[in-house]
A and B are shown apart, each in its own frame.
Chain A
Amino acid sequence: TNKDSVYELSFNIQVPSTHKFHTEVVEPWAKLVEEETEGKVKVNIYNSGALGTLSTAYEDIQGGVYDIGYVSPSLHPDTELFPLSIGDLPFGISDPFDSTAVLKPFMEKYMAESLEEVIPVGISGTDSYQLYSEDPVETIHDVKNKKIIASGYQRVDLIELWGGVPVSLGLEEIYTSLDRNTVNQATYTSIGAVGLKLYEVSPYLTKIDMGNTALLFLMNKNSFKSLPADLQKLFEDELGPKFETMNSELYSSASENAINEFDKAVSEDGGRVITLSEKDLQSFKEPAKVVWDDWVKLANDKGFDGQEMMDFFTKTLEEEGLTLPY
């Protein structure tokens, strides 16, 4: 029948339908897919993690709980995704376009063979993480013994090295726990912070650009294989890269605006955006070296040649005009 020629794909995202990632990336992309495939593929979007949370995203896509989704490789360091967690090393990559440029060759070199049950659609990232707090953070002493929300094992380690106490909480708990002072500070992207209205509860944003989170967009392999060959090729050559670009454009352009918006929102009540002196910033960056070194050790433990991977990574970083934090 006519209906059989339409392939329906489920796309699970963690944000509500009001979020810019939905309105400016996923929804337009779903439309584009429909147009480019002449209606043969229909993408159904599921919001607010309706089909699964980020913490089980990789297993869920592998098992076909949904067809398309994104994973944060640092949340799955015990799986084949581990190599990509290098992209979240603190003060490494801050811009989503850099995430694509640096991590794509990295993935092709170290993970091409190892990915099971999934097909990579694209790789990009969020905007850079900043620090939000109830009291101004101007030096590293202002984070000592503070409870700080962090996600991903590298940022958790870094906060411990700063002398803070990292806490991992679900997205829905960040606002309330800052409001209730059950945590004192949070690290989060500026676009995300404005989305969660963190300016209402933590009047200070310290601009430390501690790096972003790499986002790997994946499709379930069986779902992919069920498409006819020409459509598969379309996804690989056009739709996948297009998705990367759309995501990067959003996070790259909106980040500066978000910080300004935050500034405007808090300035009336005496809050502000804090820019650190080079010296103070350096004291935040310095401990990151241990996290980078630990990554090499961890990679060795997992049977990779950690140093060789790190060398390749830093070489690509430098080729892209980025510098190491220490």
Chain B
Amino acid sequence: MKYFTWIVRTITNLTKWISFFMLIILVPLVTFFSISRSFGVPILGDIELVQFSMVVLIMGSLAYTEATNSHISIGLLVDKFPAKVQIVLDFIAQLCTIVFAFIVCWAFTTKINLTQMSDMLNISFVPFKIFLVICFIGWALEALLKFIGIVANYRTAEKSE
């Protein structure tokens, strides 16, 4: 279990920090593009670079968002349910998350076009799609970890009662 947690956290941290640095780079980059254009020297492929950064930024943030409980859900009703029912519902929620992440990974691995490149800069899509798959695996693992945590907590709570 410890080992599993370690793996999950490593993936989440890795994708989080890649996303972190992407955002930090994006700010001066976009500023530079606009200044450069104002001075009559537009940069070739500027939009494309921003688009690729967005893929990295978004995907890298998904597992971290799950790890910090920041994916929005509506707890209004369920918060008032008995603990056992809540456990079951959380199980459904985490299961749905895992299923979705699985479908995305399936879609991107089976539908991948190994020769696809961008129009302007001829950047290959492949590394970005691989990163995307890793990030969705990360999201699914975080959901799984959370579910295991919920069950474990519930068991200890039951024993102490």
Contact = CB atoms under 8 A, between A and B. Distances in A.
Q: Do A and B come from one complex?
A: yes
Interface in B1-47: 37, 40-44, 46-47
B68 interface: no
A160 B44 CA distance: 9
Interface stretch (B54-62, B94-102, B116-124): B116-124
Given A153-B119, A167-B46, 7 more contacts: A78-B113, A78-B117, A145-B40, A152-B119, A165-B44, A167-B47, A168-B47
A168 B123 CA distance: 14
Contacts, number: 31
Interface in A123-173: 145, 147, 152-153, 156, 160, 165-169
Interface in A151-200: 152-153, 156, 160, 165-169, 182
B120 A156 contact: yes
A147 B120 CA distance: 13
A309 B120 CA distance: 25
Contacts of B43: 165
A168 B120 contact: yes
A275 interface: no
A293 interface: no
A182 B37 contact: yes
B33 to A, nearest CB: 10
Residues of B in contact with A, size category? 10 to 19
A59 interface: yes
A302 to B, nearest CB: 8
Contacts of B120: 156, 166, 168
Contacts of B117: 78
Nearest to B48: A168
From B42, B47, B113, B115, residue with most partner A Cβ within 10 Å: B42
Given A160-B44, A167-B47, A147 B37 contact: yes
21 contacts: A59-B111, A78-B113, A78-B115, A78-B116, A78-B117, A79-B113, A145-B41, A147-B37, A147-B42, A152-B119, A153-B119, A156-B119, A160-B44, A165-B42, A165-B44, A166-B44, A166-B120, A167-B42, A167-B46, A167-B47, A169-B47
A63 B106 CA distance: 14
Contacts of A63: 111
Contacts of B41: 145
The 5 closest A-B pairs by CB, nearest first: A78-B115, A165-B42, A78-B116, A147-B42, A168-B119
Contacts of A156: 119-120
B122 to A, nearest CB: 9
From A156, A168, A182, residue with most partner B Cβ within 10 Å: A168
Interface residues of A, number: 16
Nearest to B51: A168
A63 B116 CA distance: 17
A181 B37 CA distance: 10
A63 B111 CA distance: 10
Contacts of A59: 111
Nearest to A302: B115
Contacts of A168: 47-48, 119-120
A85 B93 CA distance: 46
Contacts of A165: 42-44
Contact of B42 (A78, A145, A169): A145
B14 to A, nearest CB: 29
Interface in B107-161: 111, 113, 115-117, 119-120
A182 B120 CA distance: 18
Nearest to B122: A153
A169 B40 CA distance: 19
A156 B121 CA distance: 10
B41 to A, nearest CB: 7
Contacts of B40: 145
Contacts of A145: 40-42
A151 to B, nearest CB: 8
A215 B131 CA distance: 33
Contacts of B42: 145, 147, 165, 167
Interface string A54-81: 0000010001000000000000001100
A97 B48 CA distance: 34
Contacts of B37: 147, 182
